[in-house]
Structure 1
């Protein structure tokens, strides 16, 4: 328990905590929340593939694993000669590794026989006995001739890291369907009335206070027709994003039971992507990503990292910075980064994301499709973006600096001093503190 008062949260529709329209209505860009302009790296480290949603191998306590001197990450990938807008239809999980946190190498696809027609984002656990578990989204039904969009949460066990002669991640992997939506706590695809259906993005978390083992995920809260949610406004009821949660009664990474949502945003936002927790100073920081186009009518949000904080994992969450906004893109580059993932490093919280579309300031991301294919390819980053540095205290956060593309510091690595003025100049003119 912290001595600092976090203020009062608001109740959700089916969750204990909610993100209200009043809170989301306060979203605005500030110096503390706008990241510097991103430029292409001088050296594209992994040019053979498009890289987007990325997660790092973590220990049970949530810290980034460092195995025999290696950092390890997993990313959704597609061939780099593919039109970027089509990458989600062929997404494959690849493994990358580094011995210095800056220079990364491609270890290749992780699976030969994953579930689903393609794989979407998840998380990875380096367990106490050296086992590697991957949690991912199986998108599409196995064996279907046409592309389908059903989503299941899957866990793969049996992985091992070998570092005696270089680096290798190997199986044999066994894939286990862990969770499907129940239709009561979490909406099934056939119940959905929204623009996008979600039941995905599993993220493993062991509570350091209780030792309980949890799996967070993105979902939608069912809102029956005629419900008094959102004052009965049927248009708003279709915006029903939630942060789902399941508990492992035994701590087994492949055994889970659904529980009520952790937080929902009925009437506010339809897509609360890649939810994850950073535990620090006795507080639970819940972070998630969302798009400007998934906010409900009457609200103006951004493609951004949003966050909430509570004194208990299943407590009353309060939005960070009053509105929930933590990191967003500059107004003149609104889609330069996406899919943020926060993690602790010494006294800071660091945030990685992928480099999305640059030199593009359209009102919506859909406008990318109207560009010539050559321009769609040129303007897509398709690699990890710079790592943003955050100062986090209580209910407030502020950007205090940034590291280079792909820079994920090793354990104990000291970070350079921050310079807020350099960040501001970097937004307007040069590469600022991104240190290419």
Structure 2
């Protein structure tokens, strides 16, 4: 039996033994015809290969029902939906429908989590409370290839304090010849700038390489040196097992539209450790305690915990979209989801290595499962990445490209199968062969 056939047999076996497999039925999987604009695609009604949950998660089937329910409440009850709700979800406390489940996903106490705003807005609110530069300690340490939004937010926070970005911003670059940031290297940079650093802000998972950072170890090291520690968990929430409370993280923020499947631009979340919840912060009406919020006396009585960082009432519809996904998450533990994720990503790596003995790409994501989430980043040789990705798209495969040369593949445990992974590698093999054949023809034409 051919090697690729053996891999498919393995995929079938792994899917049949997968305790998380039923979760796939809770999501809409776009067909090949729906996901691509290629009118001549084969098997147009077959499920597409969607391996892009690190960019936008698929829609849970429950989400539409929940949104329709709230639209009906609005249509039939108007303003009374704030307090009188046929499904026991009054809008004035709508965030309470998701806070506990979100706290479980990030390893926090319920009072340490608030569901609110968007990722960058929440980072700004948190930095306004936690970045307090002094003459001695004023620097912010981030990674050199931080997601642009984070980089811009940190720069603007530094500038708001009338400090020079060139002097106050420290970026951690990978060691020479490496694309990842070893923990020891991160710690060495922290140590070098410890006496002048006020804040460390790193991602739980690096978006480009897929590297998962050692949050617990890095947090403990930096805090022992008197540095406040925050984390951007956009690519980690719903992906890794997190223990934010136990790890003594000061604060964290994340979005919900990637692994948390809450839809494009979905409502975000933040974490503030209970030991830090009393610090001054920017406030708004929704930071006021619930029982006296509508007295309208302009006398602030701040809610305890992370809820006291809220500004305005959260979008009911966005919160319902998140609830649709968190309900599916509630059927499984993060331990079970992480175990499947490790197996899926490991299976992907194994097949890639066996099916591409002469690879036109390198896998820049760490091989150690403890140092990666549900993602492998393939850096392609030369300038072939965009061509390969286009062929994949034309054939109903959805991944994610990051210029100049990387395709990111994210096998997501809630809705991706081992069969998906096997099929993806076969489609990638075909796409690479198509691109190489085209280039050979062009090369022969040029030489003649």
- TM-score, length-scaled by structure 1: 0.25
More strand by share: 1
Higher RCO (CA-CA < 8 Å; seq separation 6+): 2
Larger Rg: 2
- TM-score, length-scaled by structure 2: 0.25
